[in-house]
């Protein structure tokens, strides 16, 4: 089995796929994922993807993003994302992504919470699945890209703040993978929460590993709660009711059946209002009604949501549905610069794993897919530039006197394979590290000091 690659990408969501497709076709790329190829949160995104409609929209798009983020956004990153949006959309279309269009073939735009105008492209209510599946299909066609499923990154192979690859566990076996460039695109941290819209295996492993190596993190306490997920008593991932539903006119009602809030408030503010109403009503949920929507066919516009709710026993055309806030998105992450470079050499991060400052303290609806694509592409572009002059990983690897595979890892990277044998205990350790960091930053913020 080959253990040497030109680049390793951990994650097969939109960030990982777009980065892999941007890297040179003559380089040997490995992509790996902890679960199945289609078990990334990118597949779960319902609403859509933002795009700059024209240059006249820049100031509005910019202002909407900052306002939603409570003006804690990194402005350079926001500008990069917005100005890069149209070229990224054009590339997605080239990969076969089918966005909604009118009869004349023009792209259709919808509006969601905290947006001043409609600027969101969509594909029914499964935009994330449409984009990610098309990118993944393109990845599978590339002969230079190898895909591994059910492979867990256990640690980085690092020395003197340089990354030389990763330690993985596959089919019960621990072994190293070496590369001069590593990109972490492992998704968010929803799996550490009881109620989440994320896949349960997305437990923020990359963040815990980053903490072990003193890699800079940023705003790990910035966690977004989605205001409307279907209230269910059974355990497991919560089904998201897209913000697009509210953008199209659905209303939130209290126990008495009265509308109690502006449904298009930023997500964090709307969540607080819902919790307040739940307390006033002494109910574990509020209700969302689509019965006032008459300007389009709900079953055609939101087929996935309609079908799921029908299976759960609710007819959206005839009755409101119970909804409750759930953990949804992670605005913090591994600190990166405008090219997705981390504080460790030879290591990049993109997507929900990273924090480039675009979202500030609260993500504007439908900015997540766009942000992931833009900054994954920038990571791949920078790696490509470095590939033109850099040495191979074999030349870069530190020398160490060793008599065995295990001894080399121990002497060179301080990696003791016995530390990772109990995968459950190790995962629990990483989770505890993340919670400790979240608690630490919450305390700092509560004390009034800005991180």
**Pairing outcome for strands 49-50 and 120-121:** antiparallel
Give the whole-angstrom CA distance, residue 311 versus residue 295. Answer: 24
| Token duo for residue 89 | 């959309």
| Token duo for residue 282 | 């002494």
Closest CA to 356 of 330, 385, 381: 330
SS3 352: helix
C-alpha of 127 from chain center: 14
Backbone angles phi, psi at 175, to 5 degrees: -160, 155
Cβ neighbors of 89 (< 8 A, separation 6 or more) are 49, 51, 99, 121
Cβ proximity of 51 and 370 under 8 Å: yes
Cβ neighbors of 98 (< 8 A, separation 6 or more) are 123, 130
DSSP character at residue 125: T
Give the whole-angstrom CA distance, residue 165 versus residue 251. Answer: 50
| Token duo for residue 428 | 């629990």
Dihedral sign, Cα of residue 119, residue 355, residue 198, residue 68 = negative
| Token duo for residue 267 | 């997500």
Dihedral sign, Cα of residue 184, residue 188, residue 193, residue 198 = negative
Which positions are catalytic?
267
Torsional class of 308: left (φ above 0), alpha (ψ -120 to 50), beta (otherwise): alpha
DSSP character at residue 232: -
């Amino acid at each position: 089995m080959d253990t040497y690659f030109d680049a390793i990408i951990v994650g097969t969501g939109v960030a990982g796929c777009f980065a892999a497709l941007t890297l040179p076709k003559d380089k040997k790329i490995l992509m790996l994922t902890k679960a199945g190829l289609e078990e990334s949160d990118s597949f779960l995104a319902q609403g859509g993807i933002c795009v700059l409609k024209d240059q006249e929209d820049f100031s509005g798009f910019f202002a909407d993003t900052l306002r939603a983020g409570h003006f804690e956004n990194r402005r350079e990153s926001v500008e990069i994302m917005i100005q890069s949006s149209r070229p990224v959309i054009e590339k997605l279309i080239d990969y076969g992504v089918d966005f909604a269009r009118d009869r004349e073939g023009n792209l259709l735009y919808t509006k969601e919470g905290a947006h001043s105008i409609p600027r969101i492209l969509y594909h029914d209510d499964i935009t994330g699945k449409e984009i990610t599946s098309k990118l993944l299909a393109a990845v599978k066609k590339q002969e230079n890209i190898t895909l591994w499923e059910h492979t867990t990154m256990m640690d980085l192979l690092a020395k003197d703040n340089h990354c030389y690859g990763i330690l993985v566990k596959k089919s019960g076996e621990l072994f190293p993978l070496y590369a001069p460039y590593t990109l972490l695109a492992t998704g968010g941290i929803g799996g550490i929460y009881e109620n989440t819209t994320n896949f349960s295996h997305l437990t923020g492993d990359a963040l815990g590993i980053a903490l072990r190596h003193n890699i800079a993190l940023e705003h790990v306490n910035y966690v977004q709660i989605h205001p409307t997920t279907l209230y269910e008593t059974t355990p497991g991932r919560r089904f998201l009711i897209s913000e697009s539903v509210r953008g199209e006119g659905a209303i939130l009602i209290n126990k008495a059946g009265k509308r109690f809030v502006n449904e298009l408030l930023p997500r964090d503010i709307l969540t607080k209002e819902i919790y307040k109403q739940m307390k006033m009503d002494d109910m574990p949920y509020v209700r969302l009604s689509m019965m006032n929507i008459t300007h389009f066919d709900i079953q055609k516009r939101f087929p996935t949501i309609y079908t799921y709710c029908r299976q759960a026993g609710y007819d959206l055309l005839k009755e409101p549905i119970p909804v409750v806030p759930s953990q949804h998105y992670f605005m913090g992450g591994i600190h990166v610069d405008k090219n997705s470079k981390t504080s460790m050499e030879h290591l990049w991060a993109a997507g929900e794993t990273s924090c480039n400052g675009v979202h500030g303290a609260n993500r504007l609806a439908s900015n997540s897919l766009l942000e992931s694509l833009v900054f994954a592409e920038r990571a791949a572009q920078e790696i490509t530039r470095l590939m033109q002059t850099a040495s191979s990983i074999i030349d870069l690897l530190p020398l160490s006197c060793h008599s065995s595979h295990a001894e080399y890892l121990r002497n060179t990277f301080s990696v003791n394979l016995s530390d990772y044998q109990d995968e459950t205990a190790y995962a629990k350790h990483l989770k505890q590290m993340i919670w400790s960091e979240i608690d630490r930053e919450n305390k700092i913020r509560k004390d009034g000091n800005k991180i």
